[in-house]
Structures are given as C-alpha cells and as structure tokens.
Structure 1
Amino acid sequence: MQKFVKIPFIFLFVGSLLGVFLRLQFVSPTPGINYSNFLHGHSHVMFLGWVFNVLLIGFTLNHIREDDQRGVRLLFIILQFLLLGMLVSFPIQGYGFFSILLSTMHTLAAFFFIAKFIKKVKSMTSISAWCAVVALVFFMISSIGPFSLGYLMASGLGKSQWYFFSIYFYLHFQYNGFFFFGVLSLFFNLLERRQIPFDVFGAKRICKMFAFACVPAYFLSVLWAKPGISYNVVSAIAAIIQLVAFMAMLGLLRKVFAHMRTKFRPEVQWLLIVVTMALLIKLILQLLSAFPIAAQLAYELRPVVIAYLHLALVGVISFFLMAWYGELERVSIWFWNGIKLFFICFIAMEICLVLSPWWRAIFGVHFISAADVLLFFSIGLSISCLLLMMGFSKRAKAFLV
C-alpha cells in the first residue's frame, strides 16, 4: 500500500479544481452547466477520493501485515477506477443511473474491505484498531442514506424532505462517524507508534461517549424541518455529551503533551492545535444549532452552513490527515508551504462565507463582491494542493518511519 500514499492528494487536487469551477459559477456562470451535478462530483471526490482513500491506506498500513495486503491493494485499484467513473458521471448526470451504479459498486467494494479488515483485527486490543472498526461501522450506517435515494426518486419523492433527510443522514454519519473515528484511530496509532504513554481505558470510555452521542446527534441535521421540540432536546443532549467528551479528551491528553512536544514535528504540533480549535468551535456551533432560532437561521443562511461543513471536513478532518502524512512521510519544504497556503486560504474563505449574507451592508456596493473573493481564495487552495503533491520526496521509499 505504500506506493499508493500519494493518490489521495491527486484526488484532493482534482476536487479543489472542481471547487474552483463551482465558485466560478457565481462570478461568470457557464451556460448549460448543472451546478448541483458538479457539486455532487466535488463532494464525492473529496469524501471518497481524499478522506476515504487516506483512511483505507492508514487502516491497512497500521493493522494489516504486509504479506496480507495483496488483496487490499487490488481492491484499492478497483476503487480508484470506480472513483474516476464517478468523477465523469456525476457532473454529467448527477444522481443518474451510471452515477448510482458506480457509487453502489464502490460501497459494496468498501464493504468487502470492511469484512476483511474486521476479520484481521478482531483479536487486536489496541484502541486505534477499535476506533478503526467503529469508523467502518459508521461508514456502513451512512450508506443507508444514498441507498434510499433510488427508492425516493422512483417514488416521486426526489424533491421532498425525505430526500434531504437521506442526504444529511449520509453526510452526518460520514463526517461525524466514519471520518471522525478514522481520525481518532490514526491519532491513537501515532501515540502507540511513538511509544507515548496514555490512559488507554480512559480514552476508550471517552470514545464510547462520542460514539453513543453520534446517533442522536443526527437530528441536529434535520431541525430545519421543525420536527418538534423533543428533537431539539435530544439533539442538545447529544451535543452536550460530545462537548463533555471533548473536554475529557483534552484533560486526558494534557498528561502526554510533554511527550508529544518532544516526539512530534513542530509543524505537526501546530496542525494538531488547529484541529483541536476547529473541533471545539464545531462542537460549540453544534450545540447552538439545537436551539430553534439558531437552527432556522442556519437553514436560511446557506453560506454559513457551507462554512460549518468546511470547518468540520477541512478544519478538523483534512488538517489532521495532512498532519498524519507530515509526521509519518518524508516530505519536502513544498509540503509544509502548501499547508501554510492552504491554511491561509481556508481561514479567508471561512470568514468570507460567514460574512457573505451581509457583505454589501458591511463593505458597500462598490467593494469587490464576496463571490470574487471566494473565487480568488479557492484558486489559492488549488495551488496549495498542488504544492502538497510536489512535497512528496522522490527519494522517500518508506512510509510510517
């Protein structure tokens, strides 16, 4: 699997180019283009080509012996061809026949990997292996969302609330379940690999709190439909549990900060601080969204929702994955320069997205538009992704050193 470690960054770059194209539509629309179709293509490339690929590689390298990886390598290659098919089909037809077929085949292939992985690690007792299994279980749960879309569209419910419930179901259990526990697995494996002592039993209890709260926290994604005050209460309780778990995790890790400062690269330490701050902000916003006024405001202000999703998917997940690569792979200065540029553009875009509903009121009608600013920084993100790819040393033959 070591020879595939650069592939996720290729998809990250391609996904960023799709992001630039999407931003361009707000400045200079392309005739005949279906924006939603390209948005689906962008999200699938980022979810499956970037995050899923990194986690599959990480789980395999961390927990499956090299002599048992042959089948996984073949499966990984098949998954990449399916992704390339989706990269073409989604922009052309959206959730059409070929797109659904390819995404279904990708999910079924992922199920095959999950079955093989769980069989290999069932006797392992490490918390990193446990978190990896939990992550993959959440991946399977999330697949209920897209699998239900075909039925909903065939039943004439393609534009109903149930369609959006299914989309949000998939999104929630991907980034709050699969991605989040995947990140925890990689993080704990870093501690294990660097022989940094920590309270394993305490960490597992905290992870169980996150897992328990993840299921009812889904209701936070549907409060805009006003299902009833009881859903707000359940959502708030779930958000509080996750916030408490976060604070408990911070308290647990405070005891190993000194070891992390001596055994992690300075750049990685900085990225982990960024991830921690982003996660804290995300959890606070999650709790606030349980209140009806905040939920309705978020529903009405789409740019703010996009900023929140980017905070979760980029600020928490992507920055950690970059830190993981930076700690374990031999990378050049281009990689770290790419991360610096990525960080600057990400922060600028987040600020712009949050301010965009009131942009003209703040800056006046003669100031450059929010769409132009977002396009500019999205181009910067693409350049940073290119630098990340360039940052892999050609002489680096060993991963997980």
Structure 2
Amino acid sequence: MGVLLRLYVITSLPFNYKFLLHAHSHTALLGWIYLGLTTLVYKCFLESAEKPKLYKRIFYFTNICIVGMLITFPIQGYALYSIIFSTLFLFASYWFAWFAIKHIPAHFKKRFSWKLIKTSIWYLVISSIGPWAIGGVMSTLGSTSIWYKTSIYFYLHFQYNGWFILALLGLLFFIFEERGVQFNSQKLKSIVFLLNFGIIFTFFLSVLWFQPPKIFYVLGGIGAIAQLLAFGDLYFLLQNQFSFIKEKFDEKSLLLLKIASILMVIKLIMQLFSAHSYFAKLAFRLPDFVIGYLHLVFLGIVVTTMLAFLKYFKLLHLPKSFVWIFLIAFFTTEALIFYKATAIWLGLPFLSGYYNFLTVLSCLFPVAVGVLFFKQVKSLYLSA
C-alpha cells in the first residue's frame, strides 16, 4: 500500500489516495506494531498467567478487526463499515488492556519493567480518545476543523510517545531483570517522572500547526526538554550495561538497536527545535518534514527495536538479507523525503526524477518484508 501511495504521484491509478492512506496507516500501526508489541508483552509477562484460550480470543478478534479495516478503508475511506471495524478494534485494545492488568501474575506486579508496561497500556487507552473524538468532530464541525487534525495528532502522539516507546523500554528492563541486573530505585523513579512529564507536555508540540497562544510553545518546549533529560539519564543509567547488551544480542539485533538509539537522539533534537515558532510553521508549510519525522519514529526507532526484541525472545528469525534491504530502503527513502522538504525550504535544486527514485526505493520495503515472511514460513516448515 505504501508503494501504491508513492506510485500514485507519477501515474494515474484507479483508487482514492486518501482512502488508501487511511488503510496504510491503520494496517502499519495496528496490524504490525500493535500486534508485535502485544505479542511481546504476552510472551514476557502474561504467558505464565496460563490463560491461553482467553488470549487467543482477543488475538483472533483483533485480527478480524484489522483485516476488516484493511478491506474497507481502501474502498470507502472513513464510512460506515470502516468505522465499525476501527471501533471494534478500540474495544479489542481495551480487552487486551483489561486482560493484561487483570491477569498479570503477582510476582511481576512490583517489577519496574511491569510498571513501564502498565503505564504504556494506559497511554494506549488514553490515545483512543482521539479516534472517538474524530466521529463527533466530523459530524458537527467537519474535517476542515482544527479539531479534526488535533484528534488525529492526539492519537498518534500518545501511541508512539506513550504506548510504543514506553512498552519497548519496559521490555528492555524485563531483559535486565531476568538476568539479575539491578538499578538505583530513586534514579528509576526520576526517569519515569521525566518520561511521563515529557509525554504529556510534548503533546502541545502536536498542535502548534494552527499557531495557538505562545504558552503552547512554552509547554511543548518544557516537555521536549523533559524527554531529553529522561533519555539522557537513561543513557547514563544503562552505560555500565552496554557490555551486557552486546553479549546478549546478536550482531544484527545490535545493529538495529544502535540505529534506533541514534535516531532517538535525532527525534529528541527535532522535537526541541519544533517548539520554536519558526520551525513549527515550517513543519506545517512543508508536510514532508512531518512525514519524514513520523517514518523516522515508526520505522527507524519503534520497528527496529521491536525486531531486535522479537529476535531476542526467539519469536522471529532475522535474515541478514532482510536487515540490509530494510535499512537501505529506510535510509534512502528518508533521505529523499527530507531532501525534498529541505530543498523547498532553502531553495535548493530539486532532484530530477525525484518521485521515480522514491517509488523504486520504496519497492525495497515489500521485498524486505517478503524475505522476512518467507524465512519464517520456511523455518516453521522445517521445525514441523
């Protein structure tokens, strides 16, 4: 679907661009990242609760909702059937949240890793306020209202800053705890406070596009600084454990984790700059900066870290060919997206055949995922 969206710019295609964009974003976030994270959370924390039948019901119901969105969004966009399936998915996520919090085994409850996971699940629930609000906004104020985009950004913000990133941090600390690594409890509390403070206040950065009062810029900037401090503290806390990480993760997973760490620093710096009115207006005027930023977070930080953890817990094989094709696709397409925005911003010469290059390089993503998928099928066949 991502390739078709890129292809749409260079040739006429018999589909609605916005409809497919909705399908692409929903399937990528919910069908890939959400399922990956919930699988990891179940594997680490909930498998010992011995409720496999209940979890399977949640899993199958969730997949029915995702397939429903995959089929209906390209056909009708936001309309009756796609809204039904996306609404049912919200209930599926609530079902999983209830299942996780209700059935977490007692020996996990006081662990720092579970506190992070539990908080991330609450952010998952909070993020759903966005989709609920969209229906009301569209029926009363319409899709041109500032509240329409704000509802979408509210959802995205608490998904990736809250649910995705905190869940991944929780899984990282689970690995440390299982290996007997201990940390200063006061330092952990300080980091959690800064993380949550940053998550809540950086939401104000998501509404700067409509040029709100100056206080919004100040609050967003404070949130960006809090996140920067939180991850700075986290770096120094984990500094002594880098040798442990090198020992426990294989070469491919380590590469993915290193890339995710570098991109996280870039993300934090970009957030800090976006608190300035000039850069906030620039991002609104040049949406490629926003598109590049979102792909940087989802593909460069969340997916790479999730893949490393799926490999660590033996839930996924990571072929070297997949890793390299995926990384080439990611870095080249990101470079082109940011180049276009920068070229327009600074008046640089525009690359001839830009859209053709972007489309061809985007084709590497389904090739990479195809390699990943068939390697899993092959390994399952051989082990059967």
Instruction: Identify the TM-score tier after normalising by the shorter chain.
Output: over 0.9
**Which amino acid letter does the alignment assign opposite residue 254 of structure 1?**
Q
Partner residue in 2 for 1:338: 322
C-alpha separation between the residues in 1 aligned to 2:286 and 2:360?
A: 22
C-alpha separation between the residues in 1 aligned to 2:307 and 2:42?
A: 18
Which of 264, 278, 282 pairs up with 2:267?
282
Partner residue in 2 for 1:212: 197
Which of 357, 367, 378 pairs up with 1:383?
367
Partner residue in 1 for 2:134: 149
C-alpha separation between the residues in 1 aligned to 2:34 and 2:315?
A: 22
Deviation of residue 358 (structure 1)?
5.6
Deviation of residue 63 (structure 1)?
1.1
Task: Give RMSD over aligned pairs.
Answer: 2.0
**Which amino acid letter does the alignment assign opposite residue 247 of structure 2?**
T
Partner residue in 1 for 2:110: 125
C-alpha separation between the residues in 1 aligned to 2:361 and 2:57?
A: 37
C-alpha separation between the residues in 1 aligned to 2:225 and 2:232?
A: 11
TM-score (norm 1): 0.89
Partner residue in 1 for 2:50: 67
TM-score (norm 2): 0.93
The number of residue pairs the alignment matches comes to: 377
C-alpha separation between the residues in 1 aligned to 2:202 and 2:49?
A: 38
Q: Does 1:271 align with 2:253?
A: no
Say if 2:252 and 2:323, in contact at 8 Å, map to a contact too. no
The answer for unaligned runs of 5 or more in structure 2 is: none
Which of 299, 307, 319 pairs up with 2:304?
319
Deviation of residue 159 (structure 1)?
1.5
C-alpha separation between the residues in 2 aligned to 1:173 and 1:335?
A: 32
Partner residue in 1 for 2:89: 106
Q: 1:194 to 1:396 in 2, by over 3 A?
A: farther
Deviations 1:337-383 (A, max 9, x none): 2011111110111110011146596556xx54221111111101111
Higher deviation after alignment, 258-267 or 377-386: 258-267
Partner residue in 2 for 1:394: 380
C-alpha separation between the residues in 1 aligned to 2:29 and 2:249?
A: 27
Deviation of residue 221 (structure 1)?
0.7
Between 1 and 2, higher relative CO (CA 8 Å, sep ≥ 6) is seen in: 1
C-alpha separation between the residues in 2 aligned to 1:396 and 1:291?
A: 55
SS of match in other structure, 1:385: helix
Q: Does 1:53 align with 2:35?
A: yes
Deviation of residue 263 (structure 1)?
2.1
Deviation of residue 155 (structure 1)?
0.8
Which of 301, 304, 309 pairs up with 2:294?
309
C-alpha separation between the residues in 2 aligned to 1:161 and 1:42?
A: 23
Q: 1:241 to 1:48 in 2, by over 3 A?
A: same
Q: 1:44 to 1:200 in 2, by over 3 A?
A: farther
Partner residue in 2 for 1:38: 20
C-alpha separation between the residues in 2 aligned to 1:340 and 1:198?
A: 35
C-alpha separation between the residues in 1 aligned to 2:168 and 2:190?
A: 17
Percent identity of the aligned residues?
A: 32
Q: 1:79 to 1:164 in 2, by over 3 A?
A: same
Deviation of residue 66 (structure 1)?
5.7
Deviation of residue 173 (structure 1)?
0.6
Deviation of residue 264 (structure 1)?
2.0
